[in-house]
Copies of this chain bind each other. A is one copy, B any other.
Amino acid sequence: MQLNLLVVAGDGIGPEVTREAIAVMQTVMNAGGHSLAVTEKRIGGIAIDTDGTPLPQDTLEAALASDAVFLGAVGGTKWNALPPNTRPEAGLLQLRAALEGFANLRPAFSIAELASNSPLKLDIVSGADILFVRELLGGLYFGAPREWNKHTGEAWNTMRYTRDEIIRVARIAFELAQKRNKKLTSVDKANVLEVSQLWRATVTEVAKDYPDVTLEHQLVDSMAMLIMTSPRNYDVVLTENLFGDILSDESAVITGSLGMLPSATIGGKVNLYEPIHGSAPDIAGKSIANPLGAILTGALVLRHSAGLEAEAAAIETAVRKVLEAGYRTTDLARGNTTDFKVLSTTEIGAKVRETV
């Protein structure tokens, strides 16, 4: 098969890590007689600087014409003073909206080789394997009205959901739970927010169609604690947009590094794939960024957009083998050069390609 992939590498370490991910995907696909056709476009800060907008029209058109979109990262201190609607992040949010993918899948898993990197104790994290299903097109991110009124000195955003928006993302979460350990935890703040009461009522209703899945509800404040004290208790975790943003970043401590985690956004016209780490401008251009999250994101592209399950699994296995062999990026080695061989971004990418 041929997969037409739009690559929007973006800012900071985005281009460096994306390059390695694409190279790994290409190696695996070619070995299986498939081909990956890559188109590159601008998004985020680099697009603001070059085109005057964080999501140029030709990027948007190329995205909608592609089989899948791979994003590196957007943002950086350089553009921090801009208002929300013209910042690098606005380009990403406009792209998410245009592609219409509403279910953002974010795994947070313990990797045996890296478990000692977690601030959590080994007996707490080992074996943990959570899949966040974060609603990606609603809530405070997109709700209107929204404004910062500089005359009155007042500002507001709107957390808004419709029943249908909740039903469709809940269905995806229940279906994923059916294929996993059949437990779904839905997160809300139903003791205070009307929108969370709608959320809880709707998820409870959808649950009737999935009698084999155990549903529990947790308040977002409790969940922020529980996921640290007993991460193994959770299987699929369903959240609205901002709660998922917060809890999935928090849960990166289960893996021990944000740099290891992939994400896939499904359910819309074209799937969008992004490592969950940011643009990390402080380490950009030094070839020390960890490309493994981007490489694992490449595995998700193959699984969800190309139907190449064996190839996806091969990438995931290769990443584990590289870690087992003692190779680490700077962030993963944490100064321990006795036990580990510290590699640059390009070197560890090459190791994965050799191993796969």
Bound Cα distance A78, B248 (Å): 31
Interface stretch among A27-35, A147-155, A318-326? A147-155
Interface stretch among A223-231, A286-294, A298-306, A343-351? A223-231
List A70-123 residues whose CB lies under 8 Å from chain B: 75, 83-84, 87, 89, 93, 119-121
Per-position 1/0 for A161-180, Cβ under 8 A of B: 11110000000000000000
B163 touches A154 (CB 8 A): yes
Interface bin, chain A: 35 or more
Bound Cα distance A155, B201 (Å): 12
B161 touches A159 (CB 8 A): no
Q: Which of A147, A160, A195 has the most CB of B within 10 A?
A: A195
Per-position 1/0 for A127-157, Cβ under 8 A of B: 0000000000000110100111000111111
Question: Cβ of A156: which chain B residues have Cβ within 8 Å of it?
Answer: 143, 158-161, 194-195
Given A119-B228, A221-B246; A197-B83 close (CB under 8 Å): yes
Bound Cα distance A144, B167 (Å): 25
Bound Cα distance A291, B191 (Å): 24
A153 touches B162 (CB 8 A): yes
Question: Cβ of A193: which chain B residues have Cβ within 8 Å of it?
Answer: 84, 140, 146, 157
A195 touches which of B157, B164, B224 (Cβ 8 Å) = B157
Q: Which of A93, A153, A191, A247 has the most CB of B within 10 A?
A: A191
Bound Cα distance A247, B194 (Å): 21
Closest residue of chain B to A195, judged by CB?
Answer: B155
Per-position 1/0 for A250-281, Cβ under 8 A of B: 10110000100000000000000000001000
A197 touches B246 (CB 8 A): no
B89 touches A242 (CB 8 A): no
A146 touches B194 (CB 8 A): yes
Bound Cα distance A37, B148 (Å): 47
List A197-248 residues whose CB lies under 8 Å from chain B: 197-199, 220-222, 224-225, 228-229, 242, 245-248
A140 touches which of B89, B192, B198, B248 (Cβ 8 Å) = B192
A253 touches which of B162, B225, B245 (Cβ 8 Å) = B225
Q: Is A41 close to B, CB under 8 A? A: no
Q: Is A124 close to B, CB under 8 A? A: yes
Q: Is A189 close to B, CB under 8 A? A: yes
Please list 28 pairs of residues, one from A and one from B, whose beta carbons are closer than 8 Å in the complex, sorted by A's number.
A84-B190, A119-B120, A119-B229, A140-B189, A140-B192, A141-B192, A143-B156, A146-B193, A148-B197, A148-B198, A154-B162, A155-B160, A155-B195, A155-B198, A156-B158, A156-B194, A156-B195, A157-B193, A159-B159, A221-B246, A222-B249, A222-B278, A224-B246, A225-B250, A228-B250, A229-B253, A246-B246, A250-B250
Apart from the given pairs A225-B252, A225-B253, 8 other A-B contacts in the complex at a CB distance below 8 Å: A84-B197, A146-B193, A154-B163, A155-B161, A222-B249, A224-B247, A225-B250, A228-B228
